[in-house]
Amino acid sequence: MIAVDGVSVRYGAVTAVESVTLAVPAGRVLAVSGPSGAGKSSLLWAIAGAVAPAAGQVAVDGVQIGSRAVAAAHGVVLIPQGNGLARVLTARENLVVPLIAERTPDLDTVVTQALTQVGLAESGDHLVEELSGGEQQRVAVARGLAQRGRVVLADESTSELDGANRELVLALLRAEADRGAAVVIATHDPTVAETADAHALLDEGRLSWLRPF
């Protein structure tokens, strides 16, 4: 369960998120959309503990998220916009790094399974910079899946995918919810938002409309 309570995010004089309150139960998917600059990424970063809210608070399963370290320790996984992969590592190595940090058992199996789920079982030993934009995006999704989070935050994770791969990634994110995760998808794509259990619209940082759970 994600509880966002009156959260504001500011960068100096810029207000990116203003007094947003919402909740995402375990097992459900929330889509967050809104125009470019509306604050979608900033809201996800606040949930991930990657930026400290200027006001309000975020809790995951009742634990207040005060930093990225706390969020990671409580299973908050961020699949960042622009994929966040290390380009000079292989696809497989990109998946391994966070799992080493978490001391995940049976790491090779977990990594192979995640790459297979996104249809990239044969590409694990390719450097990220050798992969297409869409393949890189799927590696980023696989890295998120491999971490088996209690919370999965997907920031525009289908933006570079063709129709079939977009359906695949959406099905995988739905499977994360079915496994018990609370899932948030930031998206510009109305068809992606329609597949979610609830849909929040941000406008200049404010929650301007909500299709509730």
Ligand X SMILES: Nc1ncnc2c1ncn2[C@@H]1O[C@H](COP(=O)(O)OP(=O)(O)OP(=O)(O)O)[C@@H](O)[C@H]1O
Binding site for ligand X (CB under 6 A): 11, 14, 16, 34, 36-42, 81
Give the SS3 label for residue 83: coil
16 vs 85 by CB, closer to ligand X: 16
Residue 72 is inside which H or E element, if any?
A: helix 68-73
Q: Which is nearer to ligand X, 19 or 81 (CB)?
A: 81
In the complex, minimum distance from the CB of residue 209 to ligand X, in angstroms, rounded to a whole number: 15
Q: Output 7 or 96, the one with its CB closest to ligand X.
A: 7
**How many other C-beta atoms can be found within 10 angstroms of the C-beta atom of residue 100?**
9
Minimum CB–partner distance for residue 130 and ligand X (Å): 26
Laid out side by side, the sheet with 198-203 consists of 76-79, 151-155, 182-186, 29-33, 198-203, 206-211
Q: Which is nearer to ligand X, 80 or 149 (CB)?
A: 80
The minimum distance between CB 118 and ligand X, in angstroms, equals 22
Helices then strands, counting H and E runs in the chain, come out as 7, 10
Minimum distance from residue 2 beta carbon to ligand X (Å) = 17
